[in-house]
Amino acid sequence: MARTEPEKEKKQRKEFLKQASDMLQDTKKQALREMQGRVKEETEGVKDEGRDTYDLASDERDESAPRPSCLPNGSKKLKSAFKDAIKKPA
């Protein structure tokens, strides 16, 4: 019977270590998620630092202002209109 008790203790110890390991892994995952969330919150807040209210308002105005359909960026029509306006005498 002396042999069965050490085997039983060994089995119990393995089970305990497995449970402890699982618990530590879960705690580690949770801590990493929390840290990533904090980093994300802080970095999103930092992007506006160093800019004053006028800069932020100007950016918002530029983003919300509709661009006229006749003046798209890089338009050939726009370039030719400027060339024509330059060629015409005043």
Do 78 and 72 form a contact (C-beta atoms < 8 A)? yes
Instruction: Check residue 71 and give its pLDDT.
Output: 54
Please tell me the distance from the alpha carbon of residue 60 to that of residue 72, in angstroms, as a whole number. 19
Number of helical (H) and strand (E) elements in the chain, helices listed first: 3, 0
pTM of the shown model:
0.43
Cα separation values, 44 from 33, 37, 38, 77, Å: 17, 11, 10, 40
Other Cβ atoms less than 10 A from the Cβ of 33: the count is: 10
Regions of the chain short of the pLDDT cut 50: none
Instruction: Check residue 49 and give its pLDDT.
Output: 63
